Amino acid sequence: MKIALHFKILISLALAFSIGLFVNFETSELKQKPSWFFYFLEACQFVGTLFLNALKMVVIPLIITSIICGVAKIGAESNFKKLGLKTFGFYGLSGILAVTVGLLCVNIFEPGIVNPEIREKMLSSYNAFDQEKLGSAMQRADGGWANLIEIFHRMVPTNLFKAAVEGQLLGLIFFSLLFGFFVSRLPDKLKISQTTFWESLNAVILSLTNFIISFAPYGIFGLVTPTLMTVGLDTLWVMGGFALTVLTGLFIHCLIILPVMLRFLGGINPIYHLKAMAPAMLTAFSTASSSATLPLTMKCVTQRVGVSRKVGSFTLPLGATMNMDGTALFECVVVVFLAQLFGIEMSWAIQFSVVVMALLTSIGVAGIPSASLVAIIVILQAVGFPEETIGIGVGIVYVVDRFLDMTRTAVNVFGDSCAAAVIGKSEGEKEYYPEVLDEGIIT
């Protein structure tokens, strides 16, 4: 019997949750962990890292070849500009809705207004944080607004190869968009040789991507189990109010706002869409990286949803780096939460500037784990948090960041897929979910 990929991934996640949490509970009592704990941890990490490396290995060639092929095809069409405008319009709208949901949740639940005992516990949970990591994040963020502008400078890289080596996807995307556009303007004879070359390269990368994706169930088990084995369950409890506020906001955005947009802007069935995107969302949850998930997002959107490669290869790489609804929502909640915790006055005007900065920084934030912490430092500096509270605040949030990062990354990926589907529909694409229509199931 052939089991569908998303079921295999679900089974692997269920196993990872049961084993990871069980081991965590069992060994948390022991001061010194038994040696089998470390062997098992390392074995899982070995498998997980191999899978993550393989995904990252194909991201750069996949982005370059997909964008060039996609734009070379549509660049010459008159509606190219319209497609770009629609894409950024959707990203803007869904981003604004996401931060609004975040702001409402944090103002209603007020997770930072806690009794002194819990506040003490929260502040002491900060000691569990890796000081070195905080130091380097603070250094990277130093300079507030200047740093924000630097993020946008990187969009136009001086050295393409350096950008690729450093994983600066925004620069590569910008170059590939221009390259594809000028391929589309070549005289026919030259255009044919260029498009044949890039399309065949793209086909090879896609086959390679499919091959890597077939290992997802093992890779995901290897990634998630060690996280759950080592996550600090007690700190999670202390930070419960904050974590729940973020999760509530993310669920509202993912299960209400985006489905409503799908239904009303694209006439798309949100349940089918969620089902079709399940493998990509589960991978985003496991890797906490929208960039590393991009190969799966592209596969799900084009093969399971049925959006054309033309639209998918234009919108998805852009979305993976620029459209981060979950991240923007998270950034807003964190800033207001910390203000509540430290008793810093946050007028609606300041909250509005937080919204603008959250939207801007979520464009520049890389699609990698914990990337938004640097953006949060930038925002805290810009709205005038005292220096000492910034260090402590980020330290507190970092303690529970991993689990929230996994969830917001899944929302980021879902947002990208909704944009691709709605824009595809607006470009006149016909039936989505061919498997549903043909066989009554999504395989």
Q: Which residues bind ligand ASP (CB under 6 A)?
A: 288-290, 324, 327, 365, 367-372, 405, 408-409, 412
In this complex, which beta carbon is closest to ligand ASP, that of residue 95 or of residue 306?
95
| 218 and 51 Cβ atoms separated by less than 8 Å | yes
To the nearest whole angstrom, how small is the minimum distance from the Cβ of residue 316 to ligand ASP? Answer: 13
For residues 109-148, one letter each, b for 16 or more C-beta atoms within 10 angstroms of the residue's C-beta and e for the rest, the string is bebbebeeeeeeebeebbeebeeeebeebbeebeebeebb
In this complex, which beta carbon is closest to ligand ASP, that of residue 23 or of residue 394?
394
To the nearest whole angstrom, how small is the minimum distance from the Cβ of residue 161 to ligand ASP? Answer: 23
In this complex, which beta carbon is closest to ligand ASP, that of residue 276 or of residue 324?
324
In this complex, which beta carbon is closest to ligand ASP, that of residue 84 or of residue 369?
369
Find tokens 């502040």 and name the residue: 123
To the nearest whole angstrom, how small is the minimum distance from the Cβ of residue 365 to ligand ASP? Answer: 6
In this complex, which beta carbon is closest to ligand ASP, that of residue 167 or of residue 369?
369
In this complex, which beta carbon is closest to ligand ASP, that of residue 292 or of residue 442?
292
To the nearest whole angstrom, how small is the minimum distance from the Cβ of residue 325 to ligand ASP? Answer: 10
In this complex, which beta carbon is closest to ligand ASP, that of residue 302 or of residue 409?
409
Tokens (6 digits) for 76: 């010459």
What does the alpha-carbon distance between residue 158 and residue 146 come to, in Å, rounded to a whole number? 18
What residues contact residue 375 under an 8 Å CB cut-off, 6+ apart? 141, 327, 331, 358, 361, 362, 364, 365
What does the alpha-carbon distance between residue 382 and residue 377 come to, in Å, rounded to a whole number? 8
Secondary structure (3-state) at 265: helix
To the nearest whole angstrom, how small is the minimum distance from the Cβ of residue 413 to ligand ASP? Answer: 7
To the nearest whole angstrom, how small is the minimum distance from the Cβ of residue 155 to ligand ASP? Answer: 17
What residues contact residue 126 under an 8 Å CB cut-off, 6+ apart? 392, 395, 396, 399
To the nearest whole angstrom, how small is the minimum distance from the Cβ of residue 367 to ligand ASP? Answer: 4
What residues contact residue 334 under an 8 Å CB cut-off, 6+ apart? 246, 376, 393, 397
